[in-house]
Amino acid sequence: MIRRRTILTGGAGLLLAGCDKVIQQPTARKILFAGEDMQRGLQRALMDRGALAPEYRRDQMSPFFRTNGTRNPGTPEYAAMLANRFEDWRLKVGGLVGRPLSLSLRQIGEFPARRQITRHDCVEGWSAIGEWIGPMLGNILKAANISSRARYVVFTCADLYGGQPYYESLDLIDAFHPQTILAWGMNGRMLDVGHGAPLRLRVERQLGYKHAKYLMRIDAVENLSNIGLGKGGYWEDHVDYDWYAGI
């Protein structure tokens, strides 16, 4: 009886322990990581391109919206920009665009703004609901006359990870989604340092790590192979996070 029990429960234990061995095999790893493409394919098939993330009422907002990731880039350059209230900060829009842009915060404020109360879901599992305001990324890309060769949009930030600026990327489906905005305001005030001042990305159908804060540059590119280590984002390159963070 004892032996039989050992076989049964031992089998389950071996499976758990075996998983760590299995994932070291390149082929197994490739199959497992293909789950991301399946999830993306399925979601894109089930979802209308413009399907909106749920929006909430003001009384449904989180009483306190916690910060995470970088709370303050802490570099001398950022401190200097903050000191004169981002007067000298410019958002550079380049790459595969017909008209590269260098936009001040004032100029970004002149674009029609979208206000949305949405839920922010961290990859760790928590959620916070807040109100965001800023221009649609799609309008900025149109103003820069984005090339038809462009397939992705890459964001480069002022905060450093391992000495390099944080970076993230989206495909054009999410870049041109109406709720994908460059937020300069949050909860009725200008964006604060903890939440990504002066400008951050909101991409409401994906998890928090896609929402690049402290934006400095936006580049339209044909593919992601020359960005970082080629997977399109800091966490994707360094700790195997999914590039498609819709789940």
Partner 1 sequence: MEAGTPTEPERPPEKPGTVIRRHGVVTRVWHWVNAVAVLILLGSGLGISNAHPRLYWGRYGANFDPAWATLPHFPGWLTIPARYNLAISRRWHLFFALVLGFGLLAYMIGGLVTRHFQRDLRIRGRELRPSAIWADFRRHLAFRFHDEHDPRRYNLFQKLSYVAVLFVALPLAILTGIALSPGMNAAWPWVLEILGGRQSARSIHFITASALALFLIVHLVLVILAGPLNELRSMITGRWRIPE
Task: Summarize as ranges the residues that interact with partner 1 (CB under 8 A).
Answer: 1, 4-5, 7-9, 12-13, 15-17, 19-20, 23, 31-36, 38-39, 42-43, 46-48, 51-54, 56, 60-66, 119, 121-129, 204-207, 235, 239-242, 245-247
38/162 with CB nearer partner 1: 38
82/122 with CB nearer partner 1: 122
Q: Tell the smallest beta-carbon distance from residue 40 to partner 1 (Å).
A: 8
Q: Quick one: tokens of 8?
A: 């049964």
Rounded to whole angstroms, the Cα distance separating 232 from 56 reads 30
Rounded to whole angstroms, the Cα distance separating 102 from 108 reads 10
16/84 with CB nearer partner 1: 16
Q: Tell the smallest beta-carbon distance from residue 175 to partner 1 (Å).
A: 15
Q: Give the 3-state secondary structure of residue 152.
A: strand
121/193 with CB nearer partner 1: 121
Q: Tell the smallest beta-carbon distance from residue 55 to partner 1 (Å).
A: 10
Rounded to whole angstroms, the Cα distance separating 49 from 174 reads 8
**3-state SS of 7-72?**
HHHHHHHHHHHHHHHHCCCHHHHHHHHCHHHHHHHHHHHHCCCCCCCCCCCHHHCCCCCCCCCCCC
185-186/127-135 β-pairing:
antiparallel
68/75 with CB nearer partner 1: 68
Q: Tell the smallest beta-carbon distance from residue 243 to partner 1 (Å).
A: 11
